[in-house]
Amino acid sequence: LSRGARFRLSAEIVRDQALAVSGLLSPKMGGPAVMPPQPAGLWRSTYNGRSWIDAEGEDRFRRGLYTYLKRTTPYPSMTTFDGGSGEVCLVRRIRTNTPLQALVTMNDPVFLEAAAALASRMTTEADDARARAERGLRLALIRPAREGEVEPLLRPQTDAAKAFSADAEKAAALIEASRGKAGELTSAEFAAWIVTANAILNLDELLTRN
């Protein structure tokens, strides 16, 4: 184990892990394919009358294994993370590292919802800012936060809270897009914790098998 290869997680696991850390992942097994959120309009074409309807409830957070796949229009986040196209059988997947992958984990609807859910866990399971950041790291990395890991999260969180306090519309828009619920926090505070949770879900240690 001390000499194992280091590589990024597979396309399905990158998504599933974000949902698992946030507490959203459904453990349900079996059943038909589901349609988790994806950018609107991808199925729109002259010769295609079908449309992608985002699943609700438990089906929205099923494991990537159950995602509906269409060969002519594959699920975009899986394609970005080198998932197979379904046109041919693959002995193994070739892993790439591109800026698009970071854009997916920071902006994709699934990852935004996972960030909001993780932010809810952090703010309800801990009382002060430092404890919340430590809780988020513990949930994501399955280990206590090390020295010097919490401060880089707290500074941007404070800056984000100030920015959202000055622009309530942006805070409300982020919470709405991520389907979050501020609960006892103000919209500005909760939106700032969504940003912090999103940063945690983008940590290299979380996305990589070390």
The answer, yes or no, to whether residue 101 has pLDDT greater than 80, is yes
User: What is the per-residue pLDDT across 9-66, written as a single tens digit (0 to 9) for each?
Assistant: 999 999 999 999 999 999 999 999 999 998 877 777 655 667 888 999 999 999 999 9
Of 197 and 73, more confident: 197
Q: What is the domain partition of the chain in residue ranges?
A: 104-209
State the pLDDT at residue 210. Answer: 76
Q: 94: pLDDT confidence band, cut at 50, 70 and 90?
A: confident
Residue 44 structure tokens? 């729109």
State the pLDDT at residue 50. Answer: 76
Mean pLDDT over each residue of the chain, to the nearest integer: 91
Of 39 and 169, more confident: 169
Q: State mean pLDDT over 99-125.
A: 95
Q: What DSSP letter does each residue of 119-179 carry, written as one string? A: HHHHHHH-SSHHHHHHHHHHHHHSSPPPTTSSHHHHHHHHHHHHHHHH-HHHHHHHHHHTT
State the pLDDT at residue 2. Answer: 64
